């Protein structure tokens, strides 16, 4: 602990001493028992010109770079503080209602127009173990700037930035291509989530068709139906967002990008159809399980009914001859006992044969 206490101040002084620039990056440490947990919030702010990265900038420099001819800035923030969003709003003239939505992070996917800027809300999906976790991405887009705000679990957007920077001929389109890249990335990440659920649904379907339905199976089916319903509510509105972008007349959206948004809309449609198909499979699996369980119960009831009918024959005959009457002529016949046994065996055998033929036994 002594060495640690000496190192921490020194490490904290390194950026200033060495002249490092960490624009917008925040590092905080806190003690948890005998361990130290580091909590990072990283802000990526980059300026681009002609489809190429030209500078890593500080958050406060965003507006100045965005006003340079042929330049735009792409700022990415994860779980921002209110002060950071207020600063961006002041720099780029972001609408207060959009800022409020970005802070609250409980919005339905939508596209809104504020003056010469657009505000896009997307919901992200991330599969963790056997559950799906949902987050949100808010994108502000306007002349010379793109600001993406992430809340909740989602894949890192560094992949989006790398892909965009690897295609300078497309990135030079500017802000609308960045928006397309983010939108396409979010929609692409729906597919592995739905495929993971499909694998689980297939396994559950095979199980239900092979063994009796259990309480755990019913609970899991209900959970999957609810999960698919939430995913559908997440995915379906994105198609409307893509449609609005495809037909947008905003200065931020170049007409050349319309086919790209149409392609994302087609992808959303495929994912949505996949989800609907899985919902039907889950519903049919549950119904099939109930029908099979009902069939098994009916089979058991038939067996009980068949054996009850067979046993009713000796019971009825024994009941008749158990009555205390003096005048029963057949009781005095030399072979009366064997005759009655033969009748019982014959009737029981006939009933067994008939029930066996009907499939009751």
Among the listed residues 102, 146, 152, the one whose alpha carbon sits nearest the alpha carbon of residue 124:
152
In the chain, where are the structural domains located? 1-42, 303-358
- DSSP label of 109: S
CB within 8 A of 6, min separation 6: which ones? none
Q: How far apart are CA 189 and CA 125, in angstroms?
A: 7
Q: How far apart are CA 351 and CA 357, in angstroms?
A: 10
Please tell me the predicted confidence (pLDDT) of residue 140. Answer: 94
pTM summary value? 0.71
Cα 112 to Cα 27, 73, 87, 115, 131, distances in angstroms: 34, 21, 21, 10, 31
Please tell me the predicted confidence (pLDDT) of residue 242. Answer: 92
Residue-wise pLDDT for 170-184, tens only, equals 888 889 999 999 999
Please tell me the predicted confidence (pLDDT) of residue 41. Answer: 52
Residue-wise pLDDT for 107-125, tens only, equals 889 999 998 899 999 999 8
Q: What is the pLDDT along the chain (361 residues), one digit of tens a residue?
A: 333 333 333 334 333 333 333 333 333 333 333 332 223 354 688 999 988 999 898 888 888 998 999 899 999 988 888 888 888 888 888 998 988 888 887 888 999 999 889 999 999 988 887 788 888 999 999 999 999 998 877 777 788 888 888 888 888 888 999 999 999 999 999 999 999 999 988 888 888 888 777 788 888 888 888 999 999 999 999 999 999 998 888 888 888 889 999 999 999 999 999 999 999 988 888 888 777 777 777 778 888 888 888 888 888 877 877 777 677 776 677 777 788 888 888 888 888 888 888 888 7
Radius of gyration of the chain (CA): 36
Asked if 151 contacts 135 with a C-beta cutoff of 8 angstroms, the reply is: yes
State the CATH architecture for 303-358: Up-down Bundle (1.20)
């Amino acid at each position: 602990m002594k060495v640690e206490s000496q190192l921490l101040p020194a490490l904290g002084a390194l950026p200033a001493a060495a002249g490092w620039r960490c624009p917008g990056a925040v590092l905080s440490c806190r003690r948890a028992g005998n361990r130290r947990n580091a909590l990072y919030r990283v802000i990526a702010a980059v300026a681009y010109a002609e489809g190429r990265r030209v500078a890593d900038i500080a958050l406060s420099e965003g507006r100045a770079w965005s006003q340079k001819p042929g330049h735009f800035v792409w700022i990415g923030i994860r779980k921002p503080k209110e002060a950071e969003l207020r600063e961006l709003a002041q720099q780029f003239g972001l609408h207060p209602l959009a800022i409020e939505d970005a802070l609250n992070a409980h919005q339905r996917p939508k596209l809104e127009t504020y003056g010469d800027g657009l505000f896009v809300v997307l919901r992200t999906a991330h599969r963790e173990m056997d559950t799906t976790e949902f987050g949100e991405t808010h994108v502000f887009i306007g002349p010379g700037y793109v600001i993406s705000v992430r809340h909740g679990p989602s894949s890192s957007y560094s992949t989006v930035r790398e892909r965009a920077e690897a295609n300078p001929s497309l990135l030079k389109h500017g802000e609308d291509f960045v928006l397309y890249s983010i939108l396409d990335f979010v929609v692409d990440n729906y597919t592995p989530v739905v495929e993971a659920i499909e694998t689980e649904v297939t396994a559950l379907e095979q199980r239900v068709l092979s063994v009796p339905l259990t309480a755990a199976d019913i609970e899991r089916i209900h959970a999957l139906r609810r999960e698919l319903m939430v995913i559908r509510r997440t995915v379906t509105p994105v198609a409307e967002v893509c449609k609005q972008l495809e037909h947008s007349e905003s200065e931020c959206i170049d007409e050349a990008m319309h086919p790209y948004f149409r392609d994302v809309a087609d992808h959303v449609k495929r994912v949505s159809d996949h989800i609907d198909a899985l919902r039907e499979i889950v519903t049919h699996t549950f119904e099939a399980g109930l029908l099979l369980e009902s069939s098994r119960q009916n089979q058991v009831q038939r067996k009980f009914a068949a054996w009850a009918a067979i046993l009713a024959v000796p019971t009825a005959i024994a009941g008749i001859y158990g009555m205390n009457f003096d005048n029963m002529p057949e009781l005095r016949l030399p072979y009366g006992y064997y005759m009655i046994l033969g009748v019982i065996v014959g009737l029981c055998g006939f009933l067994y044969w008939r029930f066996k033929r009907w499939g009751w036994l």
